[in-house]
Amino acid sequence: MELTTKQVEHVAKLARIRLSEEEKNRLAKEMADITTFAEQLTQMQNRTDEDMKAQRTFYRQDEVQPSYNREALLKNAPFAEDGCFLVPKVLE
């Protein structure tokens, strides 16, 4: 969507800011880019379930892997009890 410098002037007037001609031209292009991006987002939101299914999502398989030895880890803790770290109470 192309925006004119006239539209930029109108927005600038509403915002009560003064712009040079160079700023008006630059902002017209930037605002056009923003509205084009917003239109693309709207198109993405309007996609059907069929369109979404056409895109493949890849997930890795869940696999059981060995973990650290709990006893070895708890040996490094200043305080441990029943296989858990003991820490000071921070909330009452």
Domain range list for the chain: 5-48
Does the pTM exceed 0.85?
no
Whole-angstrom Cα distance, residue 56 to residue 44?
Answer: 16
Low-confidence ranges of the chain (pLDDT < 70): 1, 45-57
Q: Residue 35, SS3?
A: helix
Per-residue pLDDT, 55? 65
Whole-angstrom Cα distance, residue 18 to residue 24?
Answer: 9
Whole-angstrom Cα distance, residue 76 to residue 88?
Answer: 16
* 5-48 under CATH 1.10.20, yes or no: yes
Per-residue pLDDT, 12? 92
